[in-house]
Structure 1
């Protein structure tokens, strides 16, 4: 599994993208062009890599790279963008560092519409790489003064630039933060320009891992978006229930190592069932066999699983549910004088734990009947009629006593 990507440039100026695994294997993937020595970053909104190259005059341009080998020039940035490139998820933007002729460095926010406005100055010789901690919204950058000690700085958008500690000499091959491990990975070169990958802890401890080769000195190391990432299954939900022949949508996303943003969708993920076997790749819609399934999403060196159940008919979940015996209401009309407890969510097949209501059902009075010219009324109707007659009689008596007005 590739854990890092980096660009190395040989003595002729030819630059190649490499895939690097933690076992120490560095594999060239394809040639990206000439003099790519300004930074490399993955941009989740487009699922592509972006890199900075310079021409012979030092003018820098932004390129877009896909892992199938396609390289596209986007637009010019300005002179001497050689300090690194990184992604900030809070505003979905790329950030880069440039330096002027004196070596003074400036942080820029790159607008993919075609501009790179300057934000604020950093200091001298920030040419060793740029990275971002998404959880804490902090940038980190490395200075590289020739054979002098390289220093790691923290940078906030409030323009606070703070030196942290030394990280060795000639650390100009790039730096990238791995959130799951809480480690920095950087590339430093020896006196013969041979590059080595090393880790840097937040306390400043440096450990060399293995050699990479020559030409890894362009602030161009980038942690793979899938290194330390996690698959989040969106559908089906854990323990979701389905019926035979019901279509199930299989969909997921991949979260970065910090868990703060999505680095990929279902593309490149394969879906498996422990009973039905391979279900498909990407977003899949498919029915499952009647069984208890373990659904697995697999890809990018990652995998995760959720259980799901499929039943043959509507009432099988009732018989399979735990708890006291239930009486299934099979009538098409709702039951009267029953009270109960749903034994499963309302959108699933259900049963009602029912018992007779303690409240008696209301009874209707017999209807009024006609027998010839004689009406037969219930006692209730007779009492109401008697009350009305008494009220009318009292009204007439009161009027007669009052006399004419």
Structure 2
């Protein structure tokens, strides 16, 4: 694992190199392009770049950035003598640097991102060899050598400077801080020029850690952005369910003591079933089964378990994970509404939590969530014949913000961005003669799509008319076209698409959708029409047969 970056040379007299340090014992270096003598090193999380100073450039000192791959870029001219170290200060998005003046003094400067330097105050007499900033205490710390002995200083921007304790002899290689350990790292040279990595604690403890190579003098050292961090898988969720053929987005970042420090660049992904999945943020299709998905970078790893099912019916029969439940609860504001006072069967307290039991006839919050999560996974081989969103779930989210689930009302209704669901939606079954058989979810979901239409602009509402079948007039019927249709049209179109164009629904669910269609005939004033040729074909197949 790359724990630290520094600028140094493995051999005397050679150009400085971009050096990575694994504190378990490995030091690697590569050329800096273009090659320059550099002083100081600090990291800015927002840009994911390191920053340094080229103090001896023929045209004058330069502020530079350097990538983790060692690519150097000039940002602009900066102040003279900035050889004592540089540190990034997030509060004002500026750098602070120490200069070694010709009169033997060390001064603190503020440097803008463009390189403009402003002198603040004098720190001490001596030679500054390292500077770092500790966000937790809003304090800068520096190493300053006086008479061949190096001292550890604390510096406040208020100009309070404190000489803390001695760090040792011949400290010349920069200073950085590890928030996860609350330790400082620096480089010190032996008499022959060979450099060692040391740690320093605020208690005064100074420990030699490992050899680095020659001539890390005044180069600067900085923690890697993932040192002391942890892998954080953002997607998929722990325990998440998928359907065979459904794409899965993999995404992660690295967290450290100060928050997110690195995105998914360079993170490697692996499945316990499918093997290597790619790097970065790939989109993959997983084989059926229970996978352990692992993200890794350097020595950092994290794994989550995901479940992939043959179809949506099998997914519906598996309990949603707590993370999946939380995602749906986060997409809408839910109100769980009690019914008649004093009737325990109409109180949500009688059915606590989110248990998963599809053999129970009792109301369940999980039944509501599981049905909506099926809608979230549902995809079709043809674009939906209504709305503007790519999926039925996202079409609902465009116009609905609140879901009220009541235990007493017999009505499903909606308006003003609110959908009211009745007790039937809270149960797994809809046939009292078979209470241990979960009802096909398409019944609940066509009702949900029906009501969501009433939250959309342009909903014409239901009308009273004579059914096109010639039956007596039916209250709350609809006009004769699917567009712009109201709730009945939306439900009919949704069921048509589940029957004909479902990608992940089982054949049994598609057949169930086909069997539902005749019930819609008495919900239209006349034989409905549509400008969509796919809809017209289904009308011929399903209603004119």
TM interval, shorter chain, is 0.7 to 0.9
CA distance in 1, matches of 2:15, 2:240: 53
Alignment correspondent of 1:168 = 168
Partner of 1:159: 159
Q: Which residue of 2 aligns with 1:326?
A: 359
Q: Is the 8 A contact 1:86 1:132 kept in 2?
A: yes
Cα distance per residue 1:266-296 (max 9 Å; x no partner) = 1101111212222221111222222222211
Match of 1:302 among 278, 287, 300: 300
Q: Name 1:188's counterpart in structure 2.
A: 188
Aligned pair 1:43/2:56, yes or no? no
Q: Does 1:290 align with 2:291?
A: no
Q: Is the 8 A contact 1:327 1:352 kept in 2?
A: no
Closer, same or farther in 2 for the Cα pair 1:56/1:11, shift >3 Å? Answer: farther
What CA distance in whole angstroms lies between the structure 2 residues aligned with 1:85 and 1:248?
43
Higher relative contact order (CA 8 A, sep 6+): 1
Matches for 1:133-148 after TM superposition, within 5 Å? 133-148=134-149
Stretch of structure 1 that moved more, 214-223 or 118-127: 118-127
Select the residue among 348, 354, 369 that pairs with 1:345.
Answer: 369
2: CA distance, partners of 1:287 / 1:92: 42
Closer, same or farther: CA 286–355 of 1 in aligned 2, 3 Å:
closer
Determine the structure 2 residue equivalent to 1:96: 97
Provide the rounded CA distance (Å) in 1 between the counterparts of 2:65 and 2:97.
Answer: 15
Q: 1 or 2, which has the higher helix percentage?
A: 2
Which residue number in structure 2 is paired with residue 110 of structure 1? 111
Three-state SS of the structure 1 residue aligned to 2:78 is strand
1:355/1:74 CA distance change after superposition, 3 Å: closer
- Distance in 2 (CA, whole Å) between partners of 1:69 and 1:297 is 25
Note if contact 1:241-1:348 (Cα within 8 Å) is conserved in structure 2. Answer: no
Query: 2-side partners of 1:243 and 1:146: how far apart?
Result: 71
Per-residue CA deviation, residues 54-87 of structure 1 (Å, 9 max, x unaligned), is: 2278953222223444322222211110111223
Are residues 339 and 298 of structure 1, via their aligned partners in 2, closer, same or farther at CA, if it must alter by over 3 Å? closer
1:188 is displaced (CA, Å) by: 1.3
Greater share of residues in strand: 1
Q: Using the TM superposition, give the Cα deviation of residue 129 of structure 1 relative to its aligned residue in structure 2, in angstroms.
A: 0.4
CA distance in 1, matches of 2:358, 2:210: 65
Q: Does the C-alpha gap of structure 1 residues 314 and 65 become closer, same or farther in structure 2, counting only changes over 3 Å? A: same
Shift of 1:132: 2.0
1:295–1:308 Cα contact (<8 Å) kept: yes
TM-score normalized by the length of structure 1? 0.75
- 2:8/2:16 contact within 8 Å kept: yes
Q: Which runs of 4+ in 1 moved over 6 A?
A: none
Quote the RMSD (CA, aligned, Å).
2.9
Contact 1:6 1:19 in 2 (8 A): yes
Contact 2:12/2:214, CA 8 A, preserved across alignment: no
Displacement of 1:355 after TM fit? Answer: 8.8
Partner secondary structure for residue 349 of structure 1: helix
- 3-state DSSP class of the match of 1:127? strand
Larger CA deviation: 198-207 vs 10-19: 10-19
Q: 2 CA distance for matches of 1:87 and 1:345? A: 47
Report how many residues are paired: 343
Query: What is the aligned partner in structure 2 of residue 242 from structure 1?
Result: 242
* 1:186-335 to 2 correspondences below 5 Å: 186-256=186-256, 258=257, 260-321=258-319, 323-326=356-359
What do residues 16-41 of structure 1 show as CA deviations (whole Å, max 9, x unaligned)?
222222244433311452432x2012
Which residue is 2:492 aligned to? none
Listed as ranges, the gaps of 5+ residues in structure 1 are: 329-337, 357-405
Q: CA deviation at 1:226?
A: 2.3
**Which residue does 2:28 correspond to in 1?**
27
Q: Give the conservation status (yes or no) of the 8 Å contact 2:32–2:71.
A: no
SS in 2 for 1:14: coil
